Amino acid sequence: MSRWKAAAWHLAASIAVIGGLVLALLWSWLPPVLWPIAGPDQPMRLLIAAVLVVGPLLTLLVYRSGKHHLRLDLVVIVLIQLAFLGYVVNMLGRSRPVYTVAAVDRLELVLANDIDRSDLAEARLTEHDLSWRGPRLVGLRLPAGPNSGDFLFSGLTGKDYPLRPAFYVPFEQAAPDLLLRAGSVELMMARSPHDRQVITRALAKLGRRAPEVRFVPITSRRGAATMLIDATNGMPLQALGLDPWIPRDGEASPGI
């Protein structure tokens, strides 16, 4: 076998094994439509690409048919690639989504590295660990006070309230406020033919009519998407890759 063919086989195997593992991890943590706001960021995507390529490149450099210790060289290359893969999986684990927080007028997707571990000890509702099986659905109860209002961001502590488990409550307690501020899907459908098509397909998949569903933004520190929710209990139904920041029921679009 030529070194080019050996490198091609190594690349195919790397894509199948490493690509499959990374996709399986991401798929188990959140639906693909939310990858832009919670999936790997640009540096991590570059690192994943490097892990896929580094093994085949090294194989291309060292492979020569009949070479002494060729098998040992290939084993070392695979071990190097596995070491890089372990680092990638560790980094993905640190940025996995752990909470979906109903925060007044939106859902906030909280990643593991958004949470200060010392804050977990103050949590009254959640277990003192961070989920490895996708984000837990919780609500947010803002502290009482004349200046608290509906503000989600605490300038005094430097920690936004959706990132502080001490303020988490059962989702059912936050659902009425979320529904009060949720938007009409008919309004979003009227925005453009593309939005109408996307929402119509989603409603058909869910087996729902438009009046039975409303929408709220779902945000993270990496971006925003649209979440369809049940119009009666506020439970999330399906995320859509649509811009959620439009005037809702005649009101001004909320800011981040």
Over the stretch 221-230, which tens digit does the pLDDT of each residue have? Answer: 878 889 999 9
Question: Where residue 94 falls among pLDDT bands split at 50, 70, 90?
Answer: confident
Q: Rounded distance, CA 97 to CA 229, Å?
A: 19
**pLDDT one-digit tens code per residue, 180-209:** 999 999 988 988 899 999 999 999 999 999
The percent of residues in the chain predicted with pLDDT above 90, rounded, is 23
Q: Among the residues of 190-233, which ranges form H helices?
A: 193-206
Q: Is 218 exposed, middle or buried (0-12, 13-18, 19+ CB in 10 A)?
A: buried
Summarize the confidence of residues 29-46 as an average pLDDT: 75
